[in-house]
Structure 1
């Protein structure tokens, strides 16, 4: 659902503040509806400014998307790097640290994850290439983390690490999507929920179906 237009863009708002209002509104529109379905008119209406003003400040729709994307990508990467570098003895496991960092980085702007993982970006566009660069950097960090976990479990197959990286990305997306539907859930609450799910996963995975007898 699109938020009704506000009066945030009325006369007297400093340009820097107005630009932040536009970026917040555009992030919400891109994250909820996707690049293809988002229009400059919808963003302008959400803020309460005119389309010409938006074009004057940010240029084209792609330029506006990139202005939203870069802070999101950098914030998520910084959060994951910091979480993975935490080696204190009483720190939670790496997956839980990364998830807590991700939830904290997205708190207050949960739809931002879907700006980064937008399947409707025009192929071969600057927007698609820039988003892919951030996603690749996140995947590289995930590959490092998952390889460590697999090594500890005795796996040396590089394809196991590759498959687990893909699974981890899907898990993060699924968790953020669920979180977006439950706005009362804080980053701490989500991390605690994930800890319970992880604790239950061995039992769930162990209840497989017995193979049919020949």
Structure 2
């Protein structure tokens, strides 16, 4: 008799599910929901198609699990930066650096989150709304800190700058993904130059793990 918490060949079900989800993240984030197939994902994961349906119920269920995995990975990194002692533009640059480093081994997660072919209703839409709100609240908080630093208390200014910031993050990450030869460290340095050029503000010369250790 097989154990209820076991997957195939003695692999615990939780481990097998995670393996399938990570494989699905890469497929969905590379070719999109519409073009991805459960059979292809199962083959890439080295398991049977019926096992995917047993665990996730449907292609949409597998996408939902994959979306939640990717969104949680990136949201948790943004929250990690939000909890440190950086504020204003430095916090923004550290957020970008953290995202580049998190995405380096799994770059497909970013496009998975914004897949235009993904289901736009049901549980997927609900999960997207939850994570959009979670990430937006972090952006609002960060921009609010910056506005207070410069003495601007106009809520419409803050709202406009939040929209600009979120669009800029997407544009910078998308550009980086289109230039796979650029390392996270190089991209962080590029963002440092761009932010300095646009804002004229003086930022720490070094952002990233080395700088974090110096601040500890």
Normalising by structure 1, what TM-score?
Answer: 0.77
Q: CA deviation at 1:172?
A: 1.6
Counterpart contact for 1:29–1:38, Cα < 8 Å = yes
The aligned runs of 1:2-17 (5 Å cut-off) are 14=11
* Aligned-partner SS, 2:191: helix
1:33 match? 31
Describe how 1:140-179 pairs up with structure 2 within 5 A.
Answer: 140-179=137-176
Cα distance, 1:120–1:160 mapped onto 2, change above 3 Å: farther
Aligned-residue offset at 1:140 = 0.5
Contact 2:33 2:117 in 1 (8 A): yes
Measure, in 1, the Cα distance between the counterparts of 2:71 and 2:77. 10
Q: What residue is the counterpart of 1:59 in the other structure?
A: 57
1:198 aligns to what? 195
Which moved further from structure 2: 47-56 or 188-197? Answer: 47-56
Alignment gaps of 5+ in structure 1:
1-10, 204-214
Could you say what the CA RMSD is over the residues aligned between the two structures, in angstroms?
2.6
Q: How far apart in 1 are the matches of 2:159 and 2:115?
A: 21
Q: Report deviation, 1:162.
A: 1.8
Counterpart check, 1:128 vs 2:92 = no
- Structure 1 residue corresponding to 2:101, chosen from 80, 101, 104: 104
Q: Residue 113 of structure 2 aligns with which residue?
A: 116
CA shift at 1:101, angstroms? Answer: 1.6
Q: Which residue in the other structure is 1:206 paired with? A: none
Distance 2:161 2:89 in 1: 20
How far residue 121 of structure 1 moved from its aligned partner, in angstroms, is 3.0
CA distance in 2, matches of 1:186, 1:18: 31
Q: Is the 8 A contact 1:116 1:135 kept in 2?
A: no
Cα displacement string for residues 66-122 of structure 1 (whole angstroms, at most 9, x for unaligned residues): 221222222222211221222169x98111111112122222111112222233332
Counterpart of 2:207 in structure 1 is: none
1:33 Cα deviation from its structure 2 partner:
2.7
CA pair 113-143 structure 1, distance change in 2 beyond 3 A: same
Selected match of 2:80 from 79, 82, 92: 82
Q: Residue by residue, what CA displacement relative to the aligned partner does 1:21-40 show, whole Å, maximum 9, x if unpaired?
A: 32222111221233233221
Q: In structure 2, do the counterparts of structure 1 residues 140 and 92 end up closer, same or farther at CA, with 3 Å as the change threshold?
A: closer
Partner SS for 1:182: coil
Structure 2 counterpart SS, 1:93: helix
